[in-house]
Amino acid sequence: MSKYAFLDDQFANLSSLVDRVHEHKEQKKYTDRWSRIYIDTFKAGDNNDVYKWDFRIHKSLKEVFTSACFYEESLISKESGSWASFYFLSYYSLFHALMSCVVLLPSESIESLSKITHSKIIKVFKSNFCDQKPHIISPDIDDVFYMLKYMREYYSYYMPTNDFLYNSDDTIKPDEKLIQLIRACSQLAGLHSEIIEKCFYKHGKIHKGILTTTLRNWYGELNCPKHPKTGEHILHFSDQLKISETNLTPEVRSFSILLEHFIDEFRCYEGAQLPKFSNGTSTNPSKLVYNMLR
């Protein structure tokens, strides 16, 4: 745990970020710059911001869990020799790790996030978190992204006669590369959730009273595709409950407050059974996320 890293009064695990940005002076520059961006956003915002940013941070944490889930399931696929599934899950594990941070960018509207392309997500992520000092995420993350994309597409569209990519000198071993990047992105999203919470309750507008249909539309755009026939967002009971809770008590809260409740909600309904390795051990994405963030 990196006590008092980046922000003076938080206890989130930011170890991967501290490995990249050692000096307190540079850490403060980073949080100050993003604080100004969020403060300007909230000052220029409207009464609906409390709902939108409630949903954005919830979505960001969901992306962290999704990334962890896909990573662990990729290991099961590798163990069983299901290489097409392995590369698919590895690629999307990183995709969702990137999305956990991109969804917290004020420059990206809810509507644009619902339509974001694969090429845009890596460009937006890199320009905000890699290219600018202090280069808080390793700039070579795009090399890993495009290599994973290549390996996924190789198996999706040009299934090789034999499985040789994993040990090829021309590719990477996804399971060895991913965990560090997933951890770094998850902690970065957690840091931004802390900055957003602090800035919002000093400068944001808090207003209660909005149409449930509007909330459902915003939440749906962030969390699911539209049904191909009806054009509706098909949501689970837990999603509907989240919308109702936000309607009654909208709150812009960081991961540190949301985490344990989200663990209780993630893949715990509908007789949920998590995938298992050959030794009978189940995947445990919630434990992985907890260890990355706490």
- Top pLDDT among 63 and 268 is at 63
CB count within 10 Å of CB 63 equals: 24
173-183: average pLDDT: 97
- CB neighbour list of residue 111: distance below 8 Å, 6 or more residues apart: 221
Q: What is the percent of the chain where pLDDT is above 70?
A: 96
pLDDT by residue (tens digit) across 56-102? 999 999 999 999 999 999 999 999 999 999 999 999 999 999 999 99
* pLDDT at residue number 1: 42
Give dist(CA 190, CA 104) in Å, integer.
Answer: 10
103-127: average pLDDT: 96
Look at residue 207 and tell me whether its pLDDT is greater than 90. no
Nearest one of 147, 142, 158 to 84, comparing CA atoms: 158
195-207: average pLDDT: 91
Look at residue 229 and tell me whether its pLDDT is greater than 70. yes
199-213: average pLDDT: 86
- Top pLDDT among 268 and 221 is at 221
- Top pLDDT among 2 and 169 is at 169
The pTM of this model reads 0.94
103-116: average pLDDT: 96
* pLDDT at residue number 268: 67
Give dist(CA 250, CA 25) in Å, integer.
Answer: 34
* pLDDT at residue number 271: 63
C-alpha dist (Å) from residue 168 to 132, 140, 291: 33, 19, 32
- Top pLDDT among 207 and 31 is at 31
Q: Per-domain residue ranges for the chain?
A: 15-293
* pLDDT at residue number 2: 44
CA 111 to chain centre: 17
Residue 162 · residue 170 · CB < 8 Å: no
Omega before residue 228 within 30° of 0, cis: no
Nearest-10 Cα torsion for 146, 151, 154, 157: -80
Mean pLDDT, all residues of the chain:
93
Look at residue 209 and tell me whether its pLDDT is greater than 90. no
* pLDDT at residue number 4: 64
Confidence of residue 130 (pLDDT cuts 50, 70, 90): very high
